[in-house]
Amino acid sequence: MSASITERLRAGTVLGAEGYVFELERRGYIKAGPFVPEVVLDYPDAVRELHREFLRAGAEVMVALTYYAHREKLRDVGREGDLEAMNRRAVRIAREVAREGGALVAGNVCNTWAYDPEDPTTRETVRAMYAEQLGWAAEEGVDFVISETNDYLGEALIALEVIQELGLPAMVTLAPTQPHLTRDGYEYADACRILAAEGALVVGLNCDRGPRTMVPLIAKIRDTVECAVAVQPVPYRTDAIAPTMETLLSPKGERAFPIALDPFTCTRFDMARFALRARELGVDYIGICCGAGPHHVRAMAEALGREVPASRYSPSIELHPMFRADVSAKDAAFLPSWNA
C-alpha cells in the first residue's frame, strides 16, 4: 500500500501536477469556453495517457478530472444526464493509473460559479453540487480531496464541510485572481488560517498566477499557518503589470487568456527554479496548474532531487550533433549560421 497524503507530507515535499483541462483542450479533446471534461466519457484513453505522462514525470497525486464536472456546467453543454457517469469514470481512470506508480488519487471540486455570498440560498445549491460529486468520488475510492480555484472563502468552507462529512482529508486552495483578497473580502493568508482552523489538512493557492507573482503570496501564507501549505501556479510569466494569466496581453493589447497564452509559457527551467524556491519557503505540496506539460513536472521533480521514470529520457544536449565537444568537420560548417 502506498503512503497516505498525511504520511507523505510528514516525510517531505509532495509533488503534484494539474492542468488537465488546458492540456486536453490543446490536444483537441476539450472545448475551450465551457471547459467541461467531456473527454472522460468520450476519449478516456486520452485522460489515461495524460495521467500516465504526469505520473512518469514524477507526480505523486493523480487528480481525478472532475473539474467543472458539476451540474451547472454540464447543463451548459447539454450533458447533465452524464453527470454521475462522468464523475465516477474520472475517479476510476485516475485510480487505475495511480496504481501503476504508487501514486495517490485525489477527488476534485472547484468553484461552481453558483455561489453568491449575498444570497444565502446559493449555499445549499453549492453544497448539493459538492455532495453529489464527492459522494460518487468517495464511493469510487479517493485518498483525499482537492477543492481548488476557490474565489470565495465562503464557498471553500462549504467544500471543506462536505469533504469532512465524507471523512476524507482535505486540501483547499484559493484562486489568487485579486491582489490580496478573496472575492468575499478575506486576505488570502487570513482565509487560509480560517480553513486550517476548520480542519483542512493542506491550504494554499492554485491557478491564475505564475511563479513570480504567486510566490510572495504563498510566503505570507506559509508565515501565517501551521498546517501544510500547497502552491500550484500556472506556468506563465506573469509580472507586476500582469499579475495573473487573465491579465496578460499580447503586444497588440489583446487578452491572451485562455487560448493565446503560449508566448508567455514558462520554460522547464523556470519551473525547476520555482520548485526549489517553494521548498526553500517551506511549502509542503508543490505543483503546477493550467498550462502545465509533463516536461515542467519532470524538471520540478529533478530539481527536488528525484529520479523519475521519465528521467530516462531527460536531456543530454551534449550529445546533439551540433553541441557536442567533437562536432564533425562536415557539421561544423553549419555553426556560423546557428550562431548568427
Q: Is 290 in the site for Zn ion (CB under 5 A)?
A: yes
CA distance 299 to 305: 10
Give the count of alpha carbons within 13 A of 95, CB side only. 15
**Contact predicate 204/221, CB 8 Å:** yes
Q: Is 205 in the site for Zn ion (CB under 5 A)?
A: no
Closest CA to 300 of 277, 318, 323: 277
Q: Is 46 in the site for Zn ion (CB under 5 A)?
A: no
Q: How far is the CB of 86 from Zn ion (least distance, A)?
A: 19
205 forms bridges with which residues in the sheet?
174, 231
Angle subtended at Cα 19 by Cα 101 and Cα 76, rounded to the nearest 5 degrees: 120
Q: How far is the CB of 110 from Zn ion (least distance, A)?
A: 9
Pick between residue 221 and residue 234 the one whose CB is nearest to Zn ion: 234
Candidate segments 65-73, 91-99, 123-131, 201-209, binder of Zn ion by CB under 5 A: 201-209
Q: Is 207 in the site for Zn ion (CB under 5 A)?
A: yes
Candidate segments 67-75, 82-90, 193-201, 204-212, binder of Zn ion by CB under 5 A: 204-212
Pick between residue 18 and residue 190 the one whose CB is nearest to Zn ion: 18
CA distance 211 to 244: 10
* DSSP codes joined into one string, 215-256: HHHHHHHHHH-SSEEEEE--SB---SSS-SGGG-B-TTS-B-
Q: How far is the CB of 220 from Zn ion (least distance, A)?
A: 21
Pick between residue 149 and residue 193 the one whose CB is nearest to Zn ion: 149
Positive or negative, the CA dihedral 138, 151, 235, 303 is negative
Pick between residue 136 and residue 236 the one whose CB is nearest to Zn ion: 236
Candidate segments 100-108, 254-262, 281-289, 298-306, binder of Zn ion by CB under 5 A: 281-289
Pick between residue 242 and residue 290 the one whose CB is nearest to Zn ion: 290
Angle subtended at Cα 63 by Cα 216 and Cα 139, rounded to the nearest 5 degrees: 135
Q: Is 289 in the site for Zn ion (CB under 5 A)?
A: yes
Q: What are residue 80's phi and psi, to 5 degrees? A: -55, -35
Q: How far is the CB of 177 from Zn ion (least distance, A)?
A: 11
Positive or negative, the CA dihedral 114, 115, 118, 124 is positive
Q: How far is the CB of 207 from Zn ion (least distance, A)?
A: 3
Candidate segments 151-159, 202-210, 221-229, 331-339, binder of Zn ion by CB under 5 A: 202-210
CA distance 91 to 136: 9
Q: Is 174 in the site for Zn ion (CB under 5 A)?
A: no
Q: How far is the CB of 92 from Zn ion (least distance, A)?
A: 23
Pick between residue 82 and residue 257 the one whose CB is nearest to Zn ion: 257
Q: How far is the CB of 67 from Zn ion (least distance, A)?
A: 8
Pick between residue 68 and residue 186 the one whose CB is nearest to Zn ion: 68
Q: How far is the CB of 266 from Zn ion (least distance, A)?
A: 14
Q: Is 261 in the site for Zn ion (CB under 5 A)?
A: no
Q: How far is the CB of 289 from Zn ion (least distance, A)?
A: 3
Q: Look at residue 286 and give its three-state secondary structure.
A: strand
29-to-35, 36, 223, 322 alpha-carbon distances in Å: 10, 10, 40, 37
Pick between residue 112 and residue 166 the one whose CB is nearest to Zn ion: 112
How far is C-alpha 139 from the geometric centre of its chain's CA atoms? 23
What are the residues binding Zn ion (CB under 5 A)?
A: 207, 289-290
